[in-house]
Structure 1
Amino acid sequence: MMMPFRLEKRRDPSQVMIYATPVAAVLLTMIVGAIIFSLIGFDGVGAVREIFLTPLTNSFKWQDLGVKAAPLIIIGVGLSIAYRANVWNIGAEGQYIMGGLAATWVALSTHGMGGWWTLPLMGIAGMAGGMAYAAIPALLRTRLNVNEILTSLMLTYASVQLIYYLVRAPWKDPMGMGFPQTRRFASEALLPNIFPGTIVHAGVPIAIIVALIAWFVMSRSVFGYQMKVVGAAPHAARYGGFSENKTIWLALLVSGGLAGLAGMLEVAGPFQRMVPGFPTNYGFTAIIVAFLGRLNPLGVIFAGIVMAITFVGGEVAQTTIGLSSSATGVFQAMMLFFLLAGDILVRYRIKRLAPQGEARA
């Protein structure tokens, strides 16, 4: 049976609507979330208030926002670059983990003999670990034409198992009272706090700097132009001399390297050691951040803050109104749904098909 409606692509979608869609997605998430949680027996309005407003109105939570937003911004910037080139890296969580593991190896290997050079070396190792892990789907895509969505995603689960093995066997702290964790890093392997008496570490300004550099590179360099052209018009890109395989490698290595850097900053900042709970789904949440920021590094900064609000607010809602920890994921999933649905309506119009009788007339 033929549907009476079809989607017709708009020739020139409004730029105002394109950038207003993320705001509308957040507002719709708040409204629909309040209704859903009210229907299932929770204080829906209270849930929205605690998740979206309390982190902003409570000054004691601002430092938490910065710490949570930093890895989301760094990973989101890398993913936005890859997605601009139509390279779909879904395994940033695994690259984040491998970056953390590489940095942990440096911290443990230099324990007791480190210096000012320890943190820079950990940063280099973290980026190298993320890039090396992203190189696997890049190689499979360019040599065997294997979809990078599947390979990058499946590698994430392998990295999680690698953490479990390392913290339970070769890296296990002998003084840790049997807990599966590494020894605490030495002071030279820990990120300094930029504000005394707070938990805001040096990774927060680094995240902003990374986003600003990425914005400049994407808007003012041949590299950024290559990413955009290959993603938007691959045939024209080949005619202009841009290699698709080279672009795939660059996109995956950059996004993997930034995810690895985020992993290094997390293990040297909030965690201060490697533990089984190191995978925090930042890599998956950063996918929403990239799209919410319209694949623009500057937009990713604000999108990272929005998603950090949901993380911090979710923790607040657990203690104040007894909301489940999974509620944060529900709100984030709704936000992504409304964002993608809004994109379809902005770029396409719903057109009614004329009945066959009217068409003949």
Structure 2
Amino acid sequence: MQFRLEKRQEPSKFMAYATPVAAVALTMIIGAIIFSLIGYDGVGAVREIFLTPLTNSYKWQDLGVKAAPLIIIGVGLSIAYRANVWNIGAEGQYIVGGLCATGIALLTWGMTGWWILPLMMLAGMAGGMAYASIPALLRTKLKVNEILTSLMLTYASVQLIYFLIRGPWKDPMGIGFPQTRLFSEAARLPTIIPGTIVHLGVPIAVLVAIIAWFIMSKSVFGYRMRVVGAAPHAARYGGFSENKTIWLAMLVSGGLAGLAGMLEIAGPFQRMVPGFPTNYGFTAIIVAFLGRLNPLGVIVAGVVLAITFVGGEVAQTTIGLPNAATGIFQAMMLFFLLAGDILIKYRVRRVMPQTSTEVA
């Protein structure tokens, strides 16, 4: 007896959008069981990670701040993945974007002016695009897989942080700590709600997602991304260049990752430190798929993953859950989401082997 995967008819929209909900629900159930088996309060872990950030009003501001970079990077990745361009190195592009914005903040240290923050935004986006152009060039010219190159460049960007903050950018008043000096007031994002940490980057993230949705739905650019990703042979006949699409997808996703890096460094951090790499670039991959590669869906998915970040911090202090618990829940969520996608697109069919008589 043998089994094989057989493609189903096009899944319904209900199933396509029900799968992420089911993935989150299964993550909560299986997560509670796993942590109970290894000696923790499994039900309490799920409660603290998934429910406390929503029921505790003091944590809502944290959700907005955590969700903003996830939404921006997730939007860029959803555009690239729509075009079948697999940018896995958004974390590195996020880091380089933050470094470029930091360079502007240090150059203008002590200055004032409304133009400093916009200049930092442009520098952050340019840095992310420049870093994303390396795997794009290798893919289009040498046919090197962009998954490997973009991922490996992430680790190079982390080493670049260590070099700069221990060397030319080290704070002269830092008493030996590896960090840059604190940014001037003009290089910090203003808060939009007095008395909270909610900064200007939060509405910018929502605006980016809405603009991206409009472009992907109503423009030739969005049509190009969808067609090249879904039917590359038909796209060639339609006059869409695959190489040009790869460049566009990588530059857009890299530029948005760089913008997220700038908003983080000018918002919560306000200086470059070794802890700046926060794995937002990797988590945004889950955000993109959980949002069904739709910029509006990415907003919801970004909030869901932000809940796990904030809830994970709460669970560490309330029930002693390890720091790795957040990553475990996020990994399970991605696993169940991808498994669900396979089940709604394919079905397992039993195939009876032919007998010798049938062959004759």
Once the two structures are superposed, residues 200-255 of structure 1 have per-residue CA deviations (whole angstroms, 9 ceiling, x without a partner) of: 00000000000000000000000000000000000000000000000000000000
Aligned to 1:360: 358
AA at the equivalent of 1:30: M
Residue 27 of structure 1: aligned partner:
25
* Structure 1 pair 56–170 and aligned structure 2 pair: CA distance change class (3 A): same
Indicate the residue corresponding to 1:281 in structure 2. Answer: 279
Amino acid at match of 1:213: I
2:208 counterpart letter in structure 1: V
Aligned residues between the structures: 359
Report the equivalent of 2:262.
264
SS in 2 for 1:241: coil
Q: Could you say which residue in structure 1 is the equivalent of 2:166?
A: 168
Aligned to 1:347: 345
Provide the rounded CA distance (Å) in 1 between the counterparts of 2:264 and 2:251.
Answer: 20
Counterpart in the other structure of 2:335: 337
1:130 maps to 128
2:188 is matched with: 190
- Point out the more displaced range, 109-118 or 26-35: 109-118
Structure 2, unpaired ranges of 5+: none
Q: Hey, what's the Cα distance between the residues in 1 that align with 2:145 and 2:243?
A: 13
Instruction: Show CA shifts across 1:96-140 (max 9, x none).
Output: 000000000000001112310000000000000000000000000
Give the distance between the partners of 1:11 and 1:358, measured in 2 at CA: 33
The code of the aligned residue for 2:82 comes to R
CA RMSD of aligned residues (A): 1.1
Maintained 8 Å contact 2:75/2:295: yes
Distance (Å, rounded) in 1 between the aligned partners of 2:106 and 2:54:
38
Match of 1:64 among 62, 65, 75: 62
Matched, 1:237 2:231: no
Asked if 1 retains the 8 angstrom alpha-carbon contact of 2:111 and 2:184, the reply is: no
CA distance in 2, matches of 1:318, 1:359: 65
TM-score of the superposition, structure 1-length normalised? 0.98
Deviation at 1:357, TM superposition (A): 4.0
Map 1:295-306 → 2, pairs under 5 A:
295-306=293-304
Letter in 2 for 1:72: L
What is the aligned counterpart of 1:159 among 141, 153, 157?
157
- Looking at structure 2, the residues matched to 173 and 12 of structure 1 have their Cα atoms a distance apart, in angstroms, of 57
1:53 equivalenced with 2:56 (yes/no) = no
Structure 2 counterparts to residues 221-232 of structure 1, below 5 A = 221-232=219-230
Q: Distance in 1 between matches of 2:73 and 2:145?
A: 21
Distance in 2 (alpha carbons) for counterparts of 1:30 and 1:64: 21
Q: Which digits, 9 at most, give the CA deviation of each residue in 1:43-72, with x for residues without a partner?
A: 000000000000000000000000000000
- Residue 356 of structure 1: how far off its partner (Å): 2.5
Aligned to 1:139: 137
Cα separation, 2, equivalents of 1:64 and 1:258? 21
In structure 1, runs of 5+ residues without a counterpart are none
Higher mean C-alpha displacement, 140-149 vs 6-15: 6-15
**Hey, what's the Cα distance between the residues in 2 that align with 1:359 and 1:321?**
66
* Contact 2:48-2:314 at 8 Å conserved across structures: yes
Q: Percent same amino acid at aligned positions?
A: 83
Please show how residues 194-213 of structure 1 align to structure 2 within 5 Å: 194-213=192-211
The 2-side partners of 1:178 and 1:32 are apart by 45
Instruction: Report how far residue 4 of structure 1 moved.
Output: 2.0
